[in-house]
Amino acid sequence: MAYIQMCGIVIREVQVGEADKIVHLLTDRAGIVSASAKGAMRVKSKLVSATGLLTYSSFSLYEGKAMYIIEDAKVLNQFWNLRKDVVDLSTAVYFLELIRRLSPDEPDLSGHLRLLLNTLHFLDAKKRDRLLLKALFELRLLAMSGYMPDLVGCCRCGGYECAGGMLFSPQNGNLLCRDCAQPGDGGRYVPLSPGLLAAMRHIIYSDFSALFNFRVEPETGAALARLAEQYLLCQTEGGFQALDFLKSL
């Protein structure tokens, strides 16, 4: 029997019977896959730790008739610190729901995995503001999953910046400068401060190596969090259960 080695993070788990479960993994080489973890619900199982939600593990699998079968697994990171805070944990679970809903059905989702792992790392280490990480994850994931906004310049004149400021449409995902704005545009466009626009452009266009290397003023960060969520809900069908729960805390 040929075994396949891959690393992945558990983004969903479903109990099957009393002892087994099926896990959905975001992997480094096969996109999102389903795998059977036999006996993983038993406390003494060798798979119990490595197949828990939000656990990043190295897996040894083989192909079954309907899905992969996990033969062995080794924990690489369980992000223990974020599990100690209900808001951090709920934020992480929300990230998993976004991954499940927005990721394209492709075998190479290594960029999505890298984004998720790095965001969870900063959340777990409390090295970045939670709302800033949430906005960053939402915008970058949307851009990677076919919902990239056009922040290069005004959609009418092409201007990169405008003395009067720029406006952004969460519905259309584009920019409009105040010089080109018309009376009927007011309800569809949101005014952006220079700092907010710079932060959005950084999140969307920067190389991944520099993605987390920026800071914003608290007021800008709060505006970024609101706008990123608004853009997400406008571009998708909404109905994110984990987001609703997070906002109820």
| Predicted local confidence at residue 220, as pLDDT | 97
| Co-location of 205 and 139 in the same domain | yes
| Co-location of 93 and 115 in the same domain | yes
For the chain, what is the domain count?
2
**What mean pLDDT, rounded, does the chain reach?**
95
pLDDT tens readout for residues 195-226:
999 999 999 999 999 999 999 999 999 999 99
pTM (two decimals): 0.96
pLDDT at 187 over 80: no
pLDDT tens readout for residues 107-124:
999 999 999 999 999 999
| Co-location of 26 and 117 in the same domain | no
- Cβ–Cβ < 8 Å for 87, 130: yes
pLDDT tens readout for residues 127-160:
999 999 999 999 999 999 999 999 999 999 999 9
Q: Nearest to residue 203, comparing CAs of 117, 127, 115, 114?
A: 115
Instruction: Identify the domain containing residue 122 by its residue range.
Output: 81-148+194-248
Q: How confident is the model at residue 184 (pLDDT cuts 50, 70, 90)?
A: confident
